[in-house]
Amino acid sequence: MRKAVLVAPNTSETPANGESGPDALVEQRGQTLIVTMNRPSPRNALSGEMMQIMVEAWDRVDNDPDIRCCILTGAGGYFCAGMDLKAATKKPPGDSFKDGSYDPSRIDALLKGRRLKKPLISAVEGPAIAGGTEILQGTDIRVAAESAEFGISEAKWSLYPMGGSAVRLVRQIPYTVACDLLLTGRHITAAEAKEMGLVGHVVPDGQALTKALEIAEIIAANGPLAVQAILRTIRETEGMHENEAFKIDTRIGIEVFLSDDAKERRSAGVRAEAQTQLPEPLISRSACSAQWPAGSEDDRHGLQAADKVRRPQRQP
């Protein structure tokens, strides 16, 4: 059954942004939570309300055992255009630092210094510029529509990428490519983003969320403790020396193997195998030929022997 929930702080009947509904929508489909940035007129530019809802959604993902995966997307064919520049003309961004009104907790919405305990998939349609590309870097699996556009444009406006790109981007794509994007502020296509490894999937326009949901469904069917443990290992060992990382890897891995979840799934797997007749294993050519000692007649004999094992003999 599809379960839909809208999460938003107290708002007036007519939203200040002139859009339909709150600045972000939160909907649960099965075991996946979908967070939709919902200010399409300004191309889903960030607002205080939007960021507050997003932070609440991240908390929900981490704390609700019924949620196994999360998707971040945008309404109206846009992902996110970053800071609301119109609002910034009324109050310059730097003023909030001077007058003490800056709320550092809001930066959690951009996933700066915070990573979810469960997989976060981004489904990008249209522009993901400035803060949009910065949020993208905090997601684990990234799906982009063919017409999606990416860029970190803050330097063009004499601003700084406060979402963490000056630190994060050079760790996710080649150094010189990251510097190019950060220092020029130029925009790139979905195809370019995939080529450099910024996104993993490019799909036809209008299909990003569909693809993200397909991936989420596959992940949700896996062992939840195993999925979370793999993510935890990736994050805790980032930048570590390999041998030190293996210590964490082993500790976390043993915890998973000893869990009730692993025991139950192994038992279920054994029961499933007992009900299914598995095919005879095939011996590979490389394995067979490797067994023939050096100096024997010809390796062709080994390959012929392998073929006899692989193929049943015809009855006369």
Reference 291, options 279, 309, 274, 311; nearest CA is 309
Reference 81, options 143, 111, 112, 124; nearest CA is 124
Mark whether 154 is an active-site residue: yes
Which one of 27, 154, 217, 244 is the catalytic residue? 154
**C-alpha–C-alpha distance, residues 182 and 62, integer Å:** 31
Mark whether 244 is an active-site residue: no
DSSP 314: P
Beta bridge partners of 32: 29, 69
AA identity, residue 220: A
- 238 CB-side CA count, 13 A: 10
**C-alpha–C-alpha distance, residues 207 and 157, integer Å:** 32
**C-alpha–C-alpha distance, residues 145 and 245, integer Å:** 35
Which one of 49, 125, 134, 149 is the catalytic residue? 134
**C-alpha–C-alpha distance, residues 133 and 141, integer Å:** 13
Kind of pairing, strands 24-29 and 32-37?
antiparallel
Residue 213, classed as helix, strand or coil, is: helix
**C-alpha–C-alpha distance, residues 232 and 245, integer Å:** 12
**b/e 134-148 (16+ beta carbons within 10 angstroms → b):** bbbbbbbbbbbbeeb
Helix (H), strand (E), coil (C) string for 268-281: HHHHHHHCCCCCCC
CB 173 within 8 A of CB 137: no
Q: What is the DSSP string of 142-170?
A: EEEETT-EEE--GGGGT---TTTHHHHHH
Which residues have a catalytic role annotated?
134, 154
